[in-house]
Amino acid sequence: MKKYIDYLVPINNVCNQACNFCSAEYRMIWNKPIPLKSIFKQILEKDNYIQISGWEPLLNRDLFKILYFIRKNKKNCFIEFQTNGVLLLENNNLKKLEKFNIWLYNINYPCHIEKINDEIVWIKCTLKKREEAIKEIIKRWLNLRINIIVNTINYVYLWEIVEYINKNFKQLERIQFSFTKAMWAANKNDEVVPKYKDTKKYFIEALNKCKTYNIKADVDHIPMCYLWDFYKQHVDYKKKLLWEKWIYLEEKKYVEKCKNCDMRKYCSWYRKDYLEIYPEKIYE
Ligand SMILES: C[S@@+](CC[C@H](N)C(=O)[O-])C[C@H]1O[C@@H](n2cnc3c(N)ncnc32)[C@H](O)[C@@H]1O
Ligand code: SF4
């Protein structure tokens, strides 16, 4: 039984990308659409925060029916819309979404270099469309978070990505750096999940750049000790201060190294799926 609050409502199992790190479990039942009834049921079970996700939610033909259902049944609930952004400007999708008062657009952004973007998402020509969508969201003053999933291919570019974002998406307020969870496509996959220690200096450089440019930055799924002075920007640090019991502790493990760590009070340790790839003895 889950001991934490789950906000996620996956609304389909098809996608127009095939990200090498994808954690969307519906990958396994790709040929069976999720029945609308079951989506409605999930929505009614949620509190006042709902993450509409997928695979790619913009590929669900009933998307606006689903949003209408949310607004009808949960008027004041906060909606986070998770998308790779590629289809946001097609068929007036963004304009239509605006009507449902989306609280946060979370855009999956692998890298600003086209070759690296394509290597990660496997489908060509997605970067330009994603970036046009980001610019349009900013132009309309909507609440946006760019989500960078830190993996073996893009981690060396982290600070360059921040430089690029600062230059090209001027009014962007918030970035999230999510270390790849070793689930589904990334399950036991050391070609996709890097070692924490190899990414550390790039995380710190990127977070330093965010500070310089006044961009709010959150970090998730990496132990706090790898973030040096930036540990307060860890999502779990904030959650632990606010709502301790909601932390995803089931997925985490306290390792030998944590015993002498000053941050153990706030940190929620190593992910178990990471330790399956890089067992405790070789975590450093
Ligand atoms: C599974 S995606 C589905 C929604 C949409 N297709 C997208 O890419 O945003 C939902 C969110 O999970 C993130 N995500 C996917 N795989 C991940 C992984 N292995 N570790 C951490 N986050 C991941 C994506 O970047 C995205 O922000
Ligand atoms: S992360 Fe999102 S865009 Fe990438 S394959 Fe998974 S569902 Fe599709």
Structural domain includes residue 274: yes
In angstroms, the CA 241 to CA 239 distance is 5
Structural domain includes residue 79: yes
Structural domain includes residue 1: no
Q: Which ligand is nearest to the CA of 15?
A: 2
Tell which atom from ligand 2 comes closest to the C-alpha of 56. Answer: 7
**Residue 282: its pLDDT value, please?**
52
Distance 257 CA to ligand 1 centre (A): 29
Number of domains in the chain: 1
Structural domain includes residue 51: yes
The pairing of beta strand 144-150 with beta strand 216-220? unpaired
Tell which atom from ligand 1 comes closest to the C-alpha of 10. Answer: 3
The amino acid sitting at 96 is: K
In this structure, what token pair is assigned to residue 201? 């200096």
Global pTM? 0.94
**Residue 1: its pLDDT value, please?**
43
Distance 135 CA to ligand 1 centre (A): 20
Distance 107 CA to ligand 1 centre (A): 9
Structural domain includes residue 25: yes
Handedness of CA 127, 175, 88, 83 (dihedral sign): positive
Which residues, including other chains, have CB under 8 Å from residue 156's CB and lie 6 or more apart? 202
In angstroms, the CA 77 to CA 74 distance is 6
Tell which atom from ligand 1 comes closest to the C-alpha of 107. Answer: 9
In angstroms, the CA 142 to CA 165 distance is 17
Which residues, including other chains, have CB under 8 Å from residue 110's CB and lie 6 or more apart? 19, 116, 117, 120, 121, 148, 149, 153, 154
Structural domain includes residue 177: yes
- Residue 229 CA, distance from chain mean position: 22
CATH number reported for the structural domain that contains residue 25 in this entry: 3.20.20.70
Kindly state if the Cβ of 53 falls inside 6 Å of ligand 1: yes
Helix and strand numbers (H, E) in the chain are 9, 9
Structural domain includes residue 267: yes
**Residue 3: its pLDDT value, please?**
47
Kindly state if the Cβ of 52 falls inside 6 Å of ligand 2: no
The amino acid sitting at 277 is: I
Distance 258 CA to ligand 2 centre (A): 33
The residues facing 178 across adjacent strands are: 149, 220
The closest alpha carbon to 162, from 104, 236, 111, 235, belongs to 111
Q: How many CB atoms lie within 10 A of CB 243?
A: 11
| Phi, psi (deg, nearest 5) at residue 106 | -105, 110
pLDDT tens-digit profile, the chain (284 residues): 444 558 999 998 889 999 999 998 754 555 678 899 999 999 999 989 999 998 999 999 999 999 999 999 999 999 999 999 999 999 999 999 999 999 999 999 999 999 999 999 999 999 999 999 999 999 999 999 999 999 999 999 999 999 999 999 988 989 999 999 999 889 999 999 999 999 999 999 999 999 999 999 999 999 999 998 999 999 988 877 766 555 556 788 888 888 888 888 788 788 999 999 998 765 45
With beta carbons less than 8 A apart as the criterion, state whether 230 and 267 touch: no
Where in the sequence is the domain holding 133, given as residue range(s)?
Answer: 8-282
**Angle between helix 114-121 and 127-139 (nearest 10):** 110
**Residue 284: its pLDDT value, please?**
53
Which spans in 140-271 are helix H? 158-168, 196-213, 235-243
Which residues, including other chains, have CB under 8 Å from residue 222's CB and lie 6 or more apart? 150, 179, 196, 199, 203, 234
Structural domain includes residue 3: no
